[in-house]
Amino acid sequence: MNAAILGGTRGIGRALARALAERGARLCLLGRDEAELARSAADLQARGRAAAVSIVRCDLDSPAEFGPALEAAELALGGLDLVVVTAGAFGTQEQLEADPDLCRLVLDLDFTKTILFCEQARVRLLARGGGTLCVFSSVAGDRARKPVALYGAAKAGLSHYLDGLELRFGSSGLRVVTVKPGFVHTAMTEGLRAPPFAATPERVATAALRGIERGRRVVYAPPIWRGVMAAVRALPRPVLRRVSF
């Protein structure tokens, strides 16, 4: 399998890169920090896991880099079977309400620019007859809630787009895997109080890889979130007004 991972140098992306390497995948890591890309590639090669690892600079905040980066990844790997997007941004509701610049950045990266990257990726996958596009959304997008009104709005929009993408191009060979983690212990969430069902990046990566291999359309990671969010979606609106989760 030839896989390009945008965000493969940190957290869930790095854990997924290691899991794919253990499967013998040929990898191209995409990210904005070239020194971190080089360190991550060296880490995979030192572990003796990856069949091949290449790196390409690609900043999610710079759409002009998307096409050239994906083209470079294709050339390095000899084609793409899988494109993964784990890159994104996060802020708590309080941080986003207090900081308009941070709010704009999170909404822009997690919705608009992630979709623009996916559009470039799906064109390249379909040009070769199809492939898998795996994108990390969030359980925060499953239903509007007070603590994630802004972040959840961006993830809800992203999940909606991915659902439509599968409807539009699934019959043409494009498999779309939408991964919805809950709280994950990463640099983004450092210092925040962990809620129930918090997971490690490795546990989320394992669930995502299983979903990729089995062709799941939606993956909750860890799986318990599927039931949790079904219950949350069923809550009457007056209840949601009173609760703080």
Catalytic annotation, residues = 151
User: Cβ of 19: how many Cβ atoms within 10 Å?
Assistant: 18
Beta bridge partners of 175: 132
Is-contact 29 8, C-beta < 8 A? yes
- ∠ CA(143), CA(144), CA(148), 5° rounding? 115
Which tokens belong to 45?
Answer: 């090669």
Spatial separation of the C-alpha atoms in residues 66 and 119, rounded to whole Å: 10
What contacts 111, CB < 8 A, 6 or more positions away? 154, 157, 158
> What phi, psi does 20 have (nearest 5°)?
-65, -40
Furthest-apart CA atoms within the chain: distance in Å: 54
**Tokens 């869930």 belong to residue:** 12
> What phi, psi does 155 have (nearest 5°)?
-70, -35
